């Protein structure tokens, strides 16, 4: 086999129209799932609670930061609040987006 034959075989295998069609079909499925998620009435309360929790949770950091984090319990509480705030941000990021 010559180099040109190997290149032709590789070029036809990589980036083939079949692979492009699969990627497009996958993105359409993902978009359809995203639309179904946002149309569902049960997700709205989670978005609202997540949004307002993401706003309110940082106020709970203030007493911890003002007094200092000196014990392991306070450190775990602070890290737990950070994780909870991140989860609230992810849950509420779509609230009133339209």
pLDDT in tens, 85-98: 999 988 887 777 66
pLDDT in tens, 39-98: 666 667 888 888 889 999 999 999 999 999 999 999 999 999 999 999 998 888 777 766
Name the pLDDT band for 23 (thresholds 50, 70, 90). Answer: low
CB 90 within 8 A of CB 63: no
Residue position matching structure tokens 């359809």: 32
- Measured CA to CA, the distance from residue 17 to residue 7 in angstroms comes to 17
- Measured CA to CA, the distance from residue 43 to residue 32 in angstroms comes to 16
- Measured CA to CA, the distance from residue 95 to residue 83 in angstroms comes to 20
Same domain, 47 and 84: yes
pTM of the model: 0.55
Same domain, 34 and 78: no
- Measured CA to CA, the distance from residue 70 to residue 72 in angstroms comes to 7
Range of the domain at 96: 42-98
Same domain, 32 and 15: yes
Same domain, 33 and 68: no
């Amino acid at each position: 086999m010559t180099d040109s034959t190997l290149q032709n075989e590789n070029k036809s295998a990589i980036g083939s129209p079949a692979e492009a069609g699969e990627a497009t079909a996958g993105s359409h499925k993902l978009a359809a799932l995203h639309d179904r998620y946002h149309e569902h009435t049960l997700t709205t309360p989670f978005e609202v609670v997540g949004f307002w929790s993401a706003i309110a949770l940082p106020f709970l950091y203030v007493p911890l930061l003002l007094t200092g984090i000196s014990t392991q319990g306070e450190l775990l509480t602070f890290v737990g609040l950070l994780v909870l705030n991140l989860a609230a941000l992810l849950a509420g990021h779509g609230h009133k987006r339209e």
